[in-house]
Amino acid sequence: MRGGTATSEVRESSSARVWQLAWPTIISNLLFTTVGFLHIKIAAGLGTSAVAAVTTGHRVFFLVQAILMGLSVATTATVSRHWGAKQVAQAEMASWTALLLALLVAGLLSIPVLTVPTAIAGIFGLDNATTLLAASFIFWLGLFNLFSATNMMLSTSLRATGDVITPLYFLACSTAMNVAFGYALAFGLGPLPTLGVAGVALGGGIAGALVTIAFVLMWWNGRFNLQPVGEARFDWVAARKLVRIALPAVTEQGVVQIAFLAFFAIVANYGTSAYAAYGIGISLVAFPIVVGFGFGIATATLVGQQLGAGRPAQAMITGWRSLRMALLAMITLSACMAWYARDLATFMINDTEVIDLTVGFIYIICLAQPMMAIDFALAGALRGAGDTRFPLLATFIGIIFGRLLPAWLCVQLNLSVYWVFAVMLLDYLLKSSLLLWRYRSRKWLDINPNRGSPGTL
């Protein structure tokens, strides 16, 4: 009985800790998603082409962000391990090095979006007017990539230490200012110019930059539990560890976002209405998705800390508990979204064809939520342990064989766009099955990113 009671207490403690870290992260991700959602809503007041343009701009922005997210995965794994082992100085140096790497990567990625935005927007095969609108959105949003990278790395490092409230506070401020500035510049409130789609991006970028500057100043003045290093140097040893872990994660995120771009191009074959409906549907369904993403981040942090403290059994329990909580939350939210699908679509845009297509997309993607919960929770656990290669493999198999090839085949056979939407179910089925198998194998427990084990090379 004592053994059973102890096990129960461990599980309850694990659930409480997962939720303690997950809820602020979930709120943060919901705020981030709200920005994209409201950008689409603002653009809807400018017409269907504006919606398609903002959707395209967000996809390009997410590609840049996704590559930085790969580095954030490595930062979480490294900083949380050091923090769990009480190695504060090493955690701070890893955080500083990650920030410098992120700025370098963001600077390089800014070059194409600032120099050839029209060529990038042209990849999607939209009409000329929509392509030009998308290019302006891409340019103005890309102008602030360095600020976005700084904010992401500081937030990631603080979350890896268990401080999830500070990033939430700054993101809440950024969200409110982003939407207000974007709306004001899009429609020219007061003395401000009417910039349309470009104003949405410019206003959001200015808001994010102001919040990031305040974030950096407070961190530099030692206001958080993770301090800046006392010297302006680059730790090559820490950089090599970060790059070694990040490369598979960066590749995975790159594959995901490039595949999304390709999928958007496939959907574009069915016209601007189908393309806009897909963009609106993604912005709506993003809400339950980011809840699962929040559980994934919490799991990665806790698993890294547990393994750093030498408690692999507790790390395993954390992953399972996180999965159960993610399943409950995502299934509940997706069921509510499916119930109100038409109301939500009607709220977003006043176009009957786009509304019907959006409703169909929501019904289909809601069916994938349980598989996506497995993806977020268990992939988060693997990445927290430093096992970033297997999620890359699972992602590649799912996207290529479960999404892009079947979607391309649907176009060749002249099938309805609803069939293209439905192939996403096969993608998530393949990916979740592979991740579940890997997690149950327990092989990921033997990987130590700070030691540079062969499993991460």
> What is the structure's pLDDT at 454?
35
Sign of CA dihedral 44, 50, 55, 60: negative
Token readout for 252 is: 């995975």
Residue 112: which residues within 8 A CB-CB, separation 6 or more? 120
State how far the Cα of 160 lies from the Cα of 386, in Å rounded to an integer. Answer: 13
Token readout for 148 is: 């976005």
Q: In sequence order, what DSSP letters do the residues of 252-305 get, joined into one string?
A: HHHHHHHHHHHHHHHHHTT-HHHHHHHHHHHHHHHHHHHHHHHHHHHHHHHHHH
Q: In sequence order, what DSSP letters do the residues of 74-112 get, joined into one string?
A: HHHHHHHHHHHTT-HHHHHHHHHHHHHHHHHHHHHHHHH
Q: Are 178 and 145 in contact (CB under 8 A)?
A: no
List, in sequence order, the alpha helices (H) in 352-416. 352-367, 369-384, 389-399, 405-412
> What is the structure's pLDDT at 21?
67
Residue owning tokens 């004001």: 184
State phi, psi for 368 to the nearest 5 degrees: -85, -5
> What is the structure's pLDDT at 456?
35
> What is the structure's pLDDT at 404?
92
State how far the Cα of 131 lies from the Cα of 38, in Å rounded to an integer. Answer: 21
> What is the structure's pLDDT at 310?
80
> What is the structure's pLDDT at 67?
77
Which pTM does this prediction carry? 0.67
CA-based nearest residue to 183, from 158, 201, 165, 167: 201
Token readout for 233 is: 């140097």
What angle separates helix 405-412 from helix 417-441, to the nearest 10 degrees? 160
pLDDT along the chain (457 residues), means of 10: 46 63 73 81 85 84 78 82 83 87 90 91 84 91 91 89 84 90 90 89 92 92 82 72 76 76 85 84 81 82 80 85 89 90 87 89 92 90 83 89 92 91 92 93 74 39
Q: Are 43 and 127 in contact (CB under 8 A)?
A: no
Residue 273: which residues within 8 A CB-CB, separation 6 or more? 48, 351, 353, 354, 357
Centroid of chain to Cα 194: 31
